[in-house]
Amino acid sequence: MPILHDHPTTRRSFLSGALALGASPALPAAAQQLPRPASGVEDRAYWIEIVRKVSHPVLEALSKAQLRNLMPVEARPGLEQDRRKSTHLEAFGRLISGLAPWLESDVRNSPEAALQSQYREWARIGLRNGTDPSSPDYMNFGMTSQSVVDAAFLVLGILRAPKQLWEPLDRVTRANVVKALQATRQVLPGHSNWLLFSAIVEAGLCLMGEQWDSLRVDYAIEMHREWFLGDGTYGDGAHFHWDYYNSFVIQPMLMQVLETVPARSAMWKEFKPVVLERARRYAAIQERMISPEATYPAIGRSITYRFGAFHLLSDISLRRQLPDPVSPEQVRCALTAVMRRMIERPGTFDSKGWLTIGFAGHQPHLGETYISTGSLYLCACAWLPLGLPSDDLFWSGPAKQWTQAKIWSGEDVPADHASSA
């Protein structure tokens, strides 16, 4: 099956108009110039090229059961061997959670559809190789506490693309996936966003028709109901954290859990629209955090997940739930500009195309002790709007400035106000 970069005509289209990756000069972020506003067709083509560049090494290696052999393990000095226990599941689970809506969608553009078909196949082979204990690429489910984190991201991907990532699996692979998820139950989650990792694993088992632990789900939901702090924001535990975990984990996973498990109490049913409304408010805040220059604050832990910080904004865009006055077109333009600024930064990839630790290039000191090469693929969660068809307003509408660009250019825009939800 041909893939995107095997089409010379398509590749020339990426190279033209400075759309090719690496086309921007290696200037400091403050001096780097944003390109002219692009059409939705050009923006989508650029996103797909980013998908290819980031995803291809992971999926191709895993499809050949060579991920452990080929993927480097960058981590804090002295922690490389420890991170080898979890980093491969991190790479696959996080990548799949972001690719899933696109894998599940109906793509009609020929080169894009060819890449999608290849990645669907490789993702399914990856599920087989990653959960087969006899495979060289088995991913150590339950061996470390980290495995429940990335089993959850893997499940999130399956829940977002059940027709492509669950229903076509053979009987043996399905059984291995279930056993792998059940193995993570021995991990006791912390009293924080980690409760949602256990909850979404149980939600996945529910979807798969297996016995699932409603208490783990109920407890995660109840605690996050208590941890809401106001204006679209939850604590990570009882306290507020200046970081992006409301977007990385909390709100996308909370919404997905509530949508997947059957209503076990009136509280769950009544809580679902409240959670959505809070998420819409947080998405509006996220959009306002993108500067006119397409930068955003490098604040809090895990900033090496790069544009995965906008997981929630991308999720709300995919759901077509953006609040007024945030338009889909302006979110597209904002996210494209952010991804361009980050992905084209020298040092973002190593010489063989694997992501390196950093925020704007290679900055290994930004990586906490739990960060390794596989962790970085959470950036894929910004790609969720690729699950929208090309004729959706997100992709078909004309380019529009995002909120901060409007304000700093002198445009008169509606005032922002806190949410009462």
pTM score, two decimals? 0.91
CA distances from 76 to 58, 83, 328, 363, 385 (A): 21, 9, 39, 12, 33
List pLDDT tens digits, range 212-254.
999 999 999 999 999 999 999 999 999 999 999 999 999 999 9
Assign 421 a pLDDT band (cuts: 50, 70, 90).
confident
**Residue 32 confidence class, pLDDT cut points 50, 70, 90:** low
Summarised one tens digit per residue, pLDDT across range 200-222 is 999 999 999 999 999 999 999 99
- Phi and psi torsions of 319, nearest 5°: -80, -5
Residues 6+ apart with CB under 8 A from 118: 1, 2, 3
User: Cα(114)–Cα(47) distance, rounded to whole angstroms?
Assistant: 15
Taking the CA of residue 330 as centre, how many other CA atoms within 13 Å lie in the half-sphere pointing to its CB? 21
Residue 210 lies in a domain: yes
pLDDT number for residue 25: 38
Q: Is residue 97 one of the residues assigned to a domain?
A: yes
Count of structural domains, the chain: 1
> Which helix (DSSP H) or strand (DSSP E) does residue 202 occupy?
helix 194-207
Please report whether residue 30 resides in a domain: no
Domain contains 417: no
Tokens representing 246 are: 């409301």
Domain span including residue 244: 4-18+35-408
How far is 71 from 304, CA to CA, in rounded Å?
A: 18
Q: Model confidence over 61-119: pLDDT tens digits? A: 999 999 999 999 999 999 999 999 999 999 999 999 999 999 999 998 889 999 999 99
The Cα 91–Cα 150 span in angstroms is: 8
List of residues 6+ apart from 80 with CB closer than 8 A: 73, 74, 372
- Is residue 143 situated within a structural domain? yes
CATH code at position 143: 1.50.10
In a domain, 416, yes or no: no
Q: Does residue 418 form part of some domain?
A: no
- Whole-angstrom CA distances from 288 to 106, 269, 274 are 31, 30, 22
pLDDT value of position 109:
85
Answer yes or no: is 27 within a domain: no
- CA 304, chain centre distance (Å): 13
